[in-house]
Amino acid sequence: MDIRKIKAIIECLLFVSGDPVSLKDLSTVLDIDQNTLKKIINQLIDDYADNTRGIKIIEINGSYQLCSKPELYDYVEKLLKPRAKTGLSQASLETLSIIAYKQPITKSAIDEVRGVKSDACITRLLEKDMIKEVGRMEGPGRPILYGTTDTFLRLFGLKNINELPPLKEFE
């Protein structure tokens, strides 16, 4: 198949999906090995890097998504007039950062780091799809373990959790 046709199909699939599409799913649909497909997607990402383009492809945990360029947000906002979204409180951001850096982590471990209860913050972060339950800890009560989601990665512009900036030690 012609590479231009493959790129067009990838564009189409990412556009109609709206959500991130895994490399594996794209590989299955196109019947192309993942290494070759990743090279083609990287070429497509480079094609979109041009300043005359209004969209780009982002990678999130081995999946790809078509999205608008952040520098054009003002125009998108004018057109769509999004309803006011409530941001995260300082407490929720604090809880989210603890989860991001220490995942998987239990609620009691979060509470211990923060020094206060985190129930409301965890509920809010779950509702906003920023965190998820990733399992249960072995031991008494089998407490829930929390970790971040792909939504978290997308909103913070990260390909994967390893791209978090390093924590600085404070004395």
How far, in Å, CA of 140 to CA of 131, rounded?
Answer: 23
Q: What is the pLDDT of residues 85-126, one digit of tens each?
A: 667 889 999 999 999 999 999 999 999 999 999 999 999 999
**Backbone φ, ψ for residue 121 (5° rounding):** -65, -45
Q: Among 89, 112, 108, which Cα is nearest to 146's?
A: 108
Which residue bears the tokens 């094609």? 47
168: confidence class by pLDDT, cuts 50, 70, 90: confident
How far, in Å, CA of 106 to CA of 25, rounded?
Answer: 32
Judge contact between 122 and 103, C-beta under 8 A.
no
Q: What integer pLDDT is reported at residue 171 of this predicted model? A: 37
Q: What integer pLDDT is reported at residue 111 of this predicted model? A: 93
Residue 143, pLDDT > 60, answer yes
Mean pLDDT of 155-164: 90
Q: What is the pLDDT of residues 116-141, one digit of tens each?
A: 999 999 999 999 999 999 999 988 88
How far, in Å, CA of 9 to CA of 15, rounded?
Answer: 10
Q: What is the pLDDT of residues 55-69, one digit of tens each?
A: 999 999 999 999 999
Which residue bears the tokens 């985190």? 118
Boundaries of every domain in the chain: 3-79, 90-163
Q: What integer pLDDT is reported at residue 63 of this predicted model? A: 94
Q: What integer pLDDT is reported at residue 82 of this predicted model? A: 63
Task: Say whether 90-163 and 3-79 share the same fold.
Answer: yes
Residue 170, pLDDT > 70, answer no
The domain at 90-163 falls in which architecture?
Orthogonal Bundle (1.10)
Residue 84, pLDDT > 70, answer no
Judge contact between 134 and 122, C-beta under 8 A.
no
Class at the top of the CATH hierarchy for domain 3-79: mainly alpha
Enumerate helices (H) and strands (E) in the chain, giving the number of each: 8, 6
Q: What is the pLDDT of residues 6-50, one digit of tens each?
A: 999 999 999 999 899 999 999 999 999 999 999 999 999 999 988
Q: What integer pLDDT is reported at residue 73 of this predicted model? A: 87
